[in-house]
Amino acid sequence: MIQVKDIKIGTGLPKICVPIVETTQEQILNCAQEIDREVVDLVEWRADFYEEIDSLEKAALTASLLQSILGKLPVLFTFRTAKEGGEKEIGLETYQQLLCHVAKSGCVDLVDVEVFRGYDKLQRKRKEWKVADSCNGPIRQLIKELSENVTVIGSFHNFEETPSREEILKRIFFIEKIGAAIPKIAVMPKEPEDVICLMETTLLAGRLMADKPIITMAMGALGKVTRMVGESFGSAVTFGCMGKASAPGQIEVTQLRQGLQALHME
């Protein structure tokens, strides 16, 4: 279990996170004011949608204004790169600078880090996994630096397929070993068996990492069920939408809350 402000991630009902995917500061803040605090537990600012994200000062200012509106609701800062389903591509050095600048501003509570940036290509050549490889040094150092100020979610997104159980487990354990507080895996199912594979793997990983929350989800219509059954299979956070979705298959937050409560294990 990890506590962020008043929210305990990894115990009880999966926590509902709603993404803000607006493009201007005014739209972002207006969206924040409409969030129902009785339904939502966390707010994700998808900064890759923000049209002025190239300015570190404007990014930090927007985060500060967002925090002032949301109050006790924890804020997750995410820049999702195009390779993993986001709106923009960004160089590694700029990515590092942005995440560190916002984390050090004290205006966000969690930061998403794409752990496998630049790593998968080398691993395909080597056909092996090594946490200590120098090629992953920048991301490992980034997580270490960010962890001094925020809770780090180490993420991996595959919009093309669902990897094997062994591959998903390797990635979850890799994310944990490299220093992220919460591993997050999102995959695209093509068959019902893919959904079952993800849920079974999440359950197994949760038992092997009993003290650490895990976030997993299958995207698209076929994967919607995974956004509802986290309490049964071990996913600690689920992402729902409030109007605009940030990924395929997200469920409207009010319906999501109702579903989670209906499935709640007493």
Q: Is residue 265 part of a domain?
A: no
The catalytic residue among 83, 104, 157, 224 is 157
Structure confidence at residue 76 (pLDDT): 98
Domain enclosing residue 9, as ranges: 2-259
Structure confidence at residue 264 (pLDDT): 85
CATH code of the domain covering residue 12: 3.20.20.70
Model pTM above 0.75: yes
The radius of gyration of the chain's CA atoms, rounded to the nearest angstrom, is 17
Catalytic-residue membership of 157: yes
pLDDT digits (tens, 9 = 90+) for 246-262: 667 789 999 999 999 99
Q: Is residue 266 part of a domain?
A: no
Burial of 64 (0-12, 13-18, 19+ CB in 10 A): middle
Q: Is residue 26 part of a domain?
A: yes
Phi and psi torsions of 196, nearest 5°: -60, -40
Q: How distant, in Å, are the alpha carbons of 3, 129, 208, 241 from that of 233?
A: 20, 26, 13, 22
Q: Is residue 264 part of a domain?
A: no
Q: Is residue 239 part of a domain?
A: yes
The catalytic residue among 5, 121, 184, 190 is 184
Specify the number of domains making up the chain. 1
For the CA atoms of 87, 165, 177, 120, what is the dihedral angle to 10 degrees? Answer: -50
Structure confidence at residue 130 (pLDDT): 54
Structure confidence at residue 122 (pLDDT): 45
pLDDT digits (tens, 9 = 90+) for 95-113: 999 999 999 999 999 999 9
Q: Is residue 214 part of a domain?
A: yes
Catalytic-residue membership of 212: no
Q: How far apart are CA 1 and CA 28, in angstroms?
A: 30
Query: Which portions of the chain are predicted below pLDDT 70?
Result: 118-136, 245-247, 265-266
Q: Is residue 226 part of a domain?
A: yes
Q: How far apart are CA 133 and CA 129, in angstroms?
A: 9
